[in-house]
Structure 1
């Protein structure tokens, strides 16, 4: 098995990786449809294509859905929970055995630094491990109906589930959806983002190698229009898990409404990091930096708004700027502090926000411009950026930029910070830094967001339910709440006397 060093050497010398899969993954194998249409996948760190993949059609989606329907009705829903758990546990082990291949592939596809991709792969393995242990613990309730009746409930799998996977965390998002769906007894048809198709395909093959029956997990690649839309509108789909933009999420909801299909939506975010004057300064500085610059800020739950008390604002931002300027940019395989953004189109979108802000006279404390890999002069990079003292009605404080851009908002006190935190159309996550634990929990109760971090941004793991309020979507993934998304409750009552 090739190590990360071997794979990087192969890529450096050939510009690609031989191990990258070809075709869709349907019925337990890679297939190339007769139309043989392909697309290019780009390395954001170089801004160059490094491989091709199948551009799917409506017919390919239909084949995958029909395959998963057969597998659900004939095999998977009736597979014993303990056996499902054993397969998922084996999958977790295989993911770790293939850590280097998956991580290097993720870096080439998404652009993120290799150490971040390694963490994502380990997190994917942990998701399968966690839900492997939950398979045989899905138990219902009994109802106190008196001596003449018996009543109880059971959890049943919803059926065929569609998963639309985003480009910013391809393997992480795939795993957090696949694992609970399979644990509940559902089958899966996945459509990875056209920018990052490969780790979903590799993951499907590893699950097959772990013993997952053919057709239980199918992956179709291609564009949102030609494969994503047909999948979310397919009459054979019983549930949709979607992660992406608000605009596309609305389209998914409309398509689902036509077939009355269940939906879980994880959409955008403009998450505040509330830093109060009594915080541990070093802890808060490190937390704010990681919250916005991990994965070049391309995270739905990124801490993209710093809401800070005025009494510490100037000194805190000065230190933050100094640390931000010291961050090293580079190709993901070089393990930089900050990697590229995912595409030329997205780079232009980020630049547009800063161009408009500059025209409005915004106070750009550092960064604010398109740049390149200092080592090669290539790639799609944007400077780590801080914009200071932004008004609450400015688009930098209201719209999701999805890049390495931190917006600073100044609060007079904790109550004002709370108001600023909630003055947003999104409600995905929020961070709080303070030494007053009671005040932290009071704020946590009053901030309108699906998940709150206290004194550590991105705290928690697969055990903690995740999802948003307001325009950040609805439904929950991860934790036992995530497992329930793939279950339907059946109640049974009977007279026994």
Structure 2
């Protein structure tokens, strides 16, 4: 299936007609779609298209902009089953997980459709009785959205919807290996009647398309989700133009299990956070920090839960699908070797399944390591696969030290019956998302999302009202009468 760029209101091939294929990670010989390997010229045309359309879109009344977003949500809703199947086939998620992600995209567009009417600004009291003082919201201009493969419809949605609601035009560059589902989202936007040039879509290498988006002075803001290394490059490339940049990157997310926790509940929370979406979430739990009095029972229970999970193609809706690509699988297997070499105990998993039906795909067994030292690489570095390192601690203070003893700070959770420990954990943990008696994954769309330390540049948050701040600037108006 050919997937074309969307530039200046038209679906078009790459200017040099080069393409790249997207494959089913459960059956890599199966081609899902053929995408454009776009050039510098293609990307520059997309930016010019967005720039040309920006003033007209900015002058469109907020309620009218919201109507387009509402129509997009409706189009997504009408196609939700086929979109979930496409997402599952292209990224590897189970069908249930894919359906949940598609629903999140629908909900995001409905949410920001209503928010678009509330962006006029505020009235403030002036010190002069003959002056009306107001603060008006204005769009920043042309936005580049650079999105990852692991949530290939939800993350584009939570960047595009607030950007459009605020009056910006957008150039979307998705991850190439999940470009088909991203293009389907853009199709729904186009079918809503969105004016030409308001949304532009360009696929291709980050080293080509991404670099142009990060360095072109016509780009007014860049919203990036991906690895810390690439995010740093985007930030540095954008700095000479003083382009506004929002970075959301990785995490090394812990769940602390205190000695008063119910072991069954704690193991279920960790398993859901570690093995859901095949561990391929920036908020996935990759460290279980467990009080020594509960440690052995917890390891045994978590190991049993990992062993009970079924693997298979995402479209068959097993408990866990494949990793998204050969490189992701290789990276996870490498970290498993590192953990073994470092002296951690491999309790279960650690390899590819022996089932012949899964042999061709990028499948890996859910993996549990025990006897992990906090300084081991498997306890310090993001793995992005279904691997959890179980670390023993002697008390709450040590648990906090281990929780904060990594370079990233995205999500963290604690399982406890103590209000003191719960509240101290909230106060003392260096993370942008903190949960009590809940898995690290899963987000509400109407509250801020973002990390601390190496997980984010911390300047702006995504989602909710905070998500609109990045896409707007302000004008303070003194009206004397």
TM-score norm. by structure 1 comes to 0.93
1:383 shift after superposition: 1.3
Mapped partners of 2:271, 2:10: distance in 1: 43
Work out which of the residue numbers 456, 462, 465 in structure 2 matches 1:477. Answer: 462
Q: Which runs of 5+ in 2 are unaligned?
A: none
Greater mean deviation of Cα atoms: 186-195 or 41-50: 41-50
Mapped partners of 2:450, 2:2: distance in 1: 31
The 3-state SS of whatever aligns with 1:285 is: helix
Structure 2 residue 23 is the aligned partner of structure 1 residue 42: yes
Work out which of the residue numbers 472, 475, 478 in structure 2 matches 1:490. Answer: 475
The 3-state SS of whatever aligns with 1:200 is: helix
Mapped partners of 2:214, 2:256: distance in 1: 37
Structure 2 residue 439 is the aligned partner of structure 1 residue 462: no
Per-residue CA deviations over 1:96-155 (Å, capped at 9, x if unaligned) read: 111122111111211111111111000000000111110111243334331254422111
Is the CA contact 2:26–2:358 (under 8 Å) kept in the aligned structure 1?
no
Matches within 5 A, 1:261-300: 261-300=243-282
Matches within 5 A, 1:69-468: 69-73=51-55, 75-146=56-127, 147-371=129-353, 374-457=356-439, 458-468=441-451
Flag the 1:376–1:368 CA change in 2: closer, same or farther, 3 A: closer
Mapped partners of 1:442, 1:489: distance in 2: 37
Flag the 1:233–1:99 CA change in 2: closer, same or farther, 3 A: same
TM-score norm. by structure 2 comes to 0.96
Per-residue CA deviations over 1:143-190 (Å, capped at 9, x if unaligned) read: 433125442211101111001110111101111101111111111101
1:439 shift after superposition: 2.8
The 3-state SS of whatever aligns with 1:370 is: coil
Mapped partners of 2:61, 2:348: distance in 1: 57
1:194 shift after superposition: 1.4
Count matched residues. Answer: 476
The 3-state SS of whatever aligns with 1:402 is: coil
Per-residue CA deviations over 1:362-421 (Å, capped at 9, x if unaligned) read: 211111123466524211112110111211111111100110100111121122111111
Is the CA contact 1:330–1:374 (under 8 Å) kept in the aligned structure 2?
no
Work out which of the residue numbers 35, 58, 66 in structure 2 matches 1:53. Answer: 35
The 3-state SS of whatever aligns with 1:382 is: coil
Mapped partners of 1:33, 1:22: distance in 2: 10
Mapped partners of 2:368, 2:240: distance in 1: 44
Q: Which runs of 5+ in 1 are unaligned?
A: 1-19
Mapped partners of 2:2, 2:446: distance in 1: 31
Mapped partners of 2:416, 2:61: distance in 1: 48
